[in-house]
Amino acid sequence: MMGYMSITRAGCAALDAADPISDFRDEFVLPDGIVYLLGNSLGALPRRTAARVAHTVTAEWGQDLGASWNTAGWWDLPQTTGDRIAPLIGAGPGEVLAGDSTSVTIFKALAAALALRPGRSVIVSDVENFPSDQYVVQGAAQAFDREIREIGSDADLANALGPDVAVVLLSHVNYRTGAVRNMAEVTAMVQASGALMIWDLCHSTGALPVDVTGVDFALGCTYKYLNGGPGAPAYIYVAPRHQKAARNVISGWHGHASPFDFEPGYEPAPGVRRFAVGSPPVLSYAALNASLEIWEKVDMRSVRAKSVALTELFIELTEHLGLELATPRDPVERGSQVSYRHPEGYPVMRALIDMGVHGDFRAPDLIRFGFAPLYLRYVDVYDAANTLAEVLSKELWREARYQRRLTVT
């Protein structure tokens, strides 16, 4: 540790000059005067996205019309996009399907896993899972007459497992604290009990290397670190060994083996395609694929190395402020975010955003900063830390306008 007194902005600029992935910053639209530490919630806009979406609208839709289902590959977008995502999570071709929202995808994975473990009545979920995960678990338990067993740590998980557990749903990276689980070890523990393992990778994909080898199901969103845009399609990974037997509870037309035979009965498509449901949102796929063009050039080891360096720098520059660090101090145990606890976290974050540093607030008391290595610079981290210090030392957050809660925090 250098200590914040010995870190200078010039030193951070030197780190930027030596950064092997610094050129990727030019791929993104970043407004002047903004330090964007919200890539773990909504990624920045890739420069190429607007042109890609415009082409889909004006040429593929506007000129070629319905022919584009064939000529522009619209029909196959769930599979072709899934294949582009697959290398980012350690999966292979034909193992990932892109489509639907994260919540719908969680439900599909849970339902399939439960059907593969008949006679087992328990779904294990972490109380620290994102609320969407918890809500979907509650809905699935009610729909399929199952029991929920909640845990608060991996130690709890070991005690929760047993012959009655059908499936375990956990987040690889904790959305509040950024704590990372050991995917291989946890998966092995769960499967040794006879249960199936589902991983939520929403805060992992595009932030650190992921390897789904050996897991049963995984899913994630694409609008955070992958920069797919607001409402971008989610994705699901289905292990090849499960693809023949796994059933998609939402048996939609696009998951049919021969949809254009227009048969009255449902016959699931082979492979991961059976997890498709309805018409792919073509414009959203266009935006996502524009970003994935960038990710195909990225070395995830370099991304992870810079992520560790950026988060370490931010912690060193801010730990003297007296805030309670909620994120693991050991970089091996954290994702690409830093979270602090503050009793007035909401107005603190509102004041920060007004001063050009964009993070977010998570109730009841977390101020959260996400570090997207492709476009974030070391000088940005330096400036953000100084701004946080100013907001706290001058108590700018006390202004009345910051006390009113906005709809989205």
**Ligand-binding site membership of 107 (annotated):** no
Catalytic residue among 176, 224, 334, 350: 224
| CA-closest candidate to residue 219, choices 170, 281, 284 | 170
Q: Are 141 and 147 spatial neighbours (Cβ–Cβ below 8 Å)?
A: yes
200 catalytic, yes or no? yes
Kindly tell me the sign of the dihedral angle through the C-alpha atoms of 312, 315, 320, 324: negative
Q: Are 122 and 242 spatial neighbours (Cβ–Cβ below 8 Å)?
A: no
Instruction: Kindly state the tokens that stand for 193.
Output: 């009990």
223 catalytic, yes or no? yes
**Ligand-binding site membership of 102 (annotated):** yes
**Ligand-binding site membership of 254 (annotated):** no
Catalytic residue among 19, 100, 200, 216: 200
382 catalytic, yes or no? no
**Ligand-binding site membership of 145 (annotated):** no
**Ligand-binding site membership of 253 (annotated):** yes
**Ligand-binding site membership of 256 (annotated):** no
Catalytic residue among 346, 368, 369, 377: 368
Q: Are 315 and 338 spatial neighbours (Cβ–Cβ below 8 Å)?
A: yes
Residue 212 CA to residue 201 CA, distance in Å, equals 10
Name 370's bridge partners: 38, 337
Catalytic residue among 36, 175, 223, 314: 223
130 catalytic, yes or no? yes
**Ligand-binding site membership of 103 (annotated):** yes
**Ligand-binding site membership of 153 (annotated):** no
Catalytic residue among 107, 130, 346, 375: 130
| CA-closest candidate to residue 215, choices 89, 401, 71 | 89
Binding residues, as ranges, are 102-103, 130-133, 200, 203, 223, 253
Catalytic residue numbers? 130, 200, 223-224, 368
Binding residues for pyridoxal 5'-phosphate, as ranges, are 102-103, 130-133, 200, 203, 223, 253
